[in-house]
């Protein structure tokens, strides 16, 4: 059975709000001053499945650690479920559960002991703890009394998810949750997380598996060099690239691209495979098909490739830092 988020007298529109958040790490004898976050602002709607993406060193971990209360901000504000992370620290921390990227488990505790200990740290009374329910939900009931050190890497990952859920947080942060996880476990994990989200838990996901973010997240923010590059609904983000590709496999081999097709952005490989890159705003795929036919070429196969999140990600994160962030869309 999936966990239910705690009810609160506060029902904010946004589960997480970050305004002009700055984090600067001071210089030391060996390292210069580092500006990890440079005025980030984000609103994560209540109940959303929100993706936070960016290259290594973009500032994702710093932002998550500030939300979790593990790192002090330099300036700006951050709130979780309407609670300020500094002025209402206890309430804010009760509202968030974090599944870290690192497998930081005490090897000498069993899963049951770890969950009971974690629940105790959050002040959950013994008669209100849902240890058995959570262990069953993450598929660890049969390992409840085994030492954590005997668990496989995938089981340890599931145990981290279980630890983050003991206090029924309204916001669940998943920091690279499927790193090094096999396909079957990944499927089970996402099935469970989707169920949590459907029941009202807000999910904040960071991942380098961009196909996961594209499939799971209803909204995505991309950050780079400590700034928000873009924040938008996933479907709007996917429509940003005015680019498509048509691949034509010819029935007969040719030695060169016909002169009438050289005005297109087209390449020829293996004498039979032609790839046309085009902008849908300026040309339709049907025009390409007609042009190939007019050149006297016969089709064996044709396929159209839509833009992927990876294409959007590469385009946006390869921009020069000095260009600054784009306007955010919060609709």
Are the CB atoms for 205 and 174 separated by under 8 Å? yes
Buried b / exposed e along 49-88 (16+ C-beta atoms within 10 A): bbbbbbeeebbbbbbbbbbbbebebeebebbbbbbebeeb
Other CB atoms within 10 A of residue 187 CB: 12
CATH number of the domain where residue 204 is located: 3.40.50.300
281: pLDDT strictly greater than 90: no
Give the per-residue pLDDT at 319.
Answer: 59
Say yes or no: 256 and 217 in one domain: no
Give the per-residue pLDDT at 331.
Answer: 37
Give the per-residue pLDDT at 196.
Answer: 92
Q: What Å distances lie between residue 262 and 127, 133, 266, CA to CA?
A: 74, 64, 7
Give the per-residue pLDDT at 276.
Answer: 93
Say yes or no: 250 and 233 in one domain: no
For 129-160, the pLDDT digits (tens) are: 999 989 988 889 999 999 998 988 888 888 99
Nearest in space to 138 (alpha carbons), one of 117, 120, 163: 163
Q: How confident is the model at residue 10 (pLDDT cuts 50, 70, 90)?
A: low
Alpha helical stretches, state H, 59-128: 60-67, 89-94, 111-121
Say if residue 102 is exposed, middle or buried (CB neighbours under 10 Å; 0-12, 13-18, 19+): exposed
Write down the mean pLDDT value for the chain: 88
Number of structural domains found in the chain: 2
Tell me if 283 is assigned to some domain: yes
Say yes or no: 82 and 174 in one domain: yes
Report the alpha-carbon distance of residue 220 to residue 235 in Å, rounded: 10
Tell me if 228 is assigned to some domain: yes
326: pLDDT strictly greater than 90: no
329: pLDDT strictly greater than 70: no
Angle at 127 between CA 121 and CA 133, to 5 degrees: 85
For 229-254, the pLDDT digits (tens) are: 999 999 888 877 778 889 999 999 99
> Which residues lie closer than 8 Å to 9 by C-beta, 6 or more apart?
none
First to last CA, the chain: 33
Q: How confident is the model at residue 1 (pLDDT cuts 50, 70, 90)?
A: very low
The predicted model gives 83-104 an average pLDDT of 92
Tell me if 141 is assigned to some domain: no
Tell me if 57 is assigned to some domain: yes
Tell me if 120 is assigned to some domain: no
66: pLDDT strictly greater than 70: yes
Q: What Å distances lie between residue 42 and 19, 51, 65, 78, 79, CA to CA?
A: 7, 12, 15, 9, 11
Rounded percentage of the chain residues whose pLDDT exceeds 90? 63
The whole domain housing 278 covers: 244-306
Give the per-residue pLDDT at 200.
Answer: 94
Rounded percentage of the chain residues whose pLDDT exceeds 70? 93
Say yes or no: 58 and 177 in one domain: yes
285: pLDDT strictly greater than 80: yes
Q: How confident is the model at residue 4 (pLDDT cuts 50, 70, 90)?
A: very low
CATH number of the domain where residue 269 is located: 3.30.70.100
Scanning the structure block, which residue is given the tokens 């980030």?
40
Q: In what order do the strands lie in the sheet with 265-269?
A: 265-269, 273-278, 244-250, 299-305
Say yes or no: 91 and 40 in one domain: yes
Tell me if 125 is assigned to some domain: no
> Which residues lie closer than 8 Å to 24 by C-beta, 6 or more apart?
33, 34, 35, 36, 74
Give the per-residue pLDDT at 5.
Answer: 44
Say yes or no: 35 and 85 in one domain: yes
Say yes or no: 279 and 233 in one domain: no
Say if residue 103 is exposed, middle or buried (CB neighbours under 10 Å; 0-12, 13-18, 19+): middle
For 187-230, the pLDDT digits (tens) are: 888 888 999 999 999 999 998 888 899 999 999 999 999 999 99
Say yes or no: 259 and 194 in one domain: no
Tell me if 143 is assigned to some domain: no
SS3 32: coil
Token pair of 156 as six digits: 């340890």
Give the per-residue pLDDT at 267.
Answer: 93
Tell me if 253 is assigned to some domain: yes
Which pTM was predicted?
0.79
Q: How confident is the model at residue 9 (pLDDT cuts 50, 70, 90)?
A: low
Strand (E) or helix (H) holding 51: strand 49-53
């Amino acid at each position: 059975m999936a966990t239910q988020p705690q009810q609160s007298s506060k029902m904010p529109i946004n589960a997480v709000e970050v305004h002009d958040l700055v984090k600067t790490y001071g210089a030391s004898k060996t390292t210069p001053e580092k500006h990890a976050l440079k005025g980030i602002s984000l609103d994560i709607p209540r109940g959303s499945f929100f993706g936070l993406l960016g290259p290594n060193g973009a500032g994702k971990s710093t932002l998550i650690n500030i939300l979790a209360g593990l790192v002090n901000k330099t300036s700006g504000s951050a709130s979780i479920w309407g609670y300020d992370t500094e002025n209402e620290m206890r309430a804010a921390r009760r509202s968030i559960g974090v599944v870290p990227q690192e497998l930081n488990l005490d090897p000498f505790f069993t899963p049951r002991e770890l969950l009971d200990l974690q629940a105790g740290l959050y002040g959950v009374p013994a008669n209100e703890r849902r240890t058995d329910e959570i262990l069953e939900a993450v598929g660890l009931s049969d390992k409840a009394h085994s030492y954590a050190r005997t668990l496989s890497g995938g089981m340890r990952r599931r145990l981290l998810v279980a630890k983050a859920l003991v206090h029924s947080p309204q916001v669940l942060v998943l920091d690279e949750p499927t790193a090094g996880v096999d396909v079957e476990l990944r499927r089970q994990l996402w099935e469970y997380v989707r169920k949590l989200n459907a029941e009202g838990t807000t999910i904040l996901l960071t991942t380098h598996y961009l196909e996961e973010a594209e499939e799971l997240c209803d909204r995505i923010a991309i950050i780079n060099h400590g700034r928000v590059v873009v924040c938008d609904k996933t479907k709007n983000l996917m429509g940003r690239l005015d680019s498509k590709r048509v691949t034509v496999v010819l029935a007969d081999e040719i030695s060169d691209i016909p002169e009438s097709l050289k005005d297109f952005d087209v390449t020829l490989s293996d004498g039979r495979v032609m790839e046309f890159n085009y902008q849908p705003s300026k040309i339709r795929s049907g025009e390409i098909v007609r042009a190939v036919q007019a050149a006297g070429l016969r089709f064996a196969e044709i396929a159209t490739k839509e833009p992927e999140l990876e294409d959007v990600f590469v385009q946006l994160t390869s921009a020069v830092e000095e260009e600054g962030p784009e306007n955010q869309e919060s609709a």
